[in-house]
Structure 1
Amino acid sequence: MDMKQLRERLNKRPEEIAVELNVALSTVRNWESGRHEPRLPISEIPQFLKTYQCSLDDAIAAAAASHKKFHGKKQS
Structure 2
Amino acid sequence: MEDNKRSTSSMDLRKRAGKSRMDVAVALGVTQATVAKWEQRVQEPHLPMWKIKRWAEIYGCPIDELISAFPPISSDNSVTQQSKLDEEMHLSSAN
Specify the alignment match of 1:26 in structure 2. 33
Aligned residues: 72
2:21 is equivalent to residue 14 of structure 1: yes
User: In 2 relative to 1, CA 73–35 (structure 1 residues): closer, same or farther, beyond 3 Å?
Assistant: closer
Q: Which runs of 5+ in 2 are unaligned?
A: 1-7, 81-95
User: In 2 relative to 1, CA 71–20 (structure 1 residues): closer, same or farther, beyond 3 Å?
Assistant: same
Q: Higher relative contact order at CA 8 Å, sep ≥6: structure 1 or structure 2?
A: 1
Q: Which runs of 5+ in 1 are unaligned?
A: none
User: In 2 relative to 1, CA 30–57 (structure 1 residues): closer, same or farther, beyond 3 Å?
Assistant: same
Name the Cα RMSD after superposition: 2.3
Percent identity at matched positions? 31
2:65, 2:42 → 1: CA distance?
A: 18
Q: Which of 49, 53, 56 is equivalent to 1:46?
A: 53
TM-score of the pair, normalised by structure 2: 0.64
More helix by share: 1
Specify the structure having the higher radius of gyration (Cα): 2
Specify the alignment match of 2:77 in structure 1. 71
Alpha-carbon offset, residue 13 of structure 1: 1.0
Alpha-carbon offset, residue 52 of structure 1: 1.8
Q: Does the 8 A contact of 2:42 with 2:78 survive in 1?
A: no
Alpha-carbon offset, residue 18 of structure 1: 0.7
User: In 2 relative to 1, CA 39–11 (structure 1 residues): closer, same or farther, beyond 3 Å?
Assistant: same
Specify the alignment match of 2:9 in structure 1. 2
User: In 2 relative to 1, CA 35–42 (structure 1 residues): closer, same or farther, beyond 3 Å?
Assistant: same
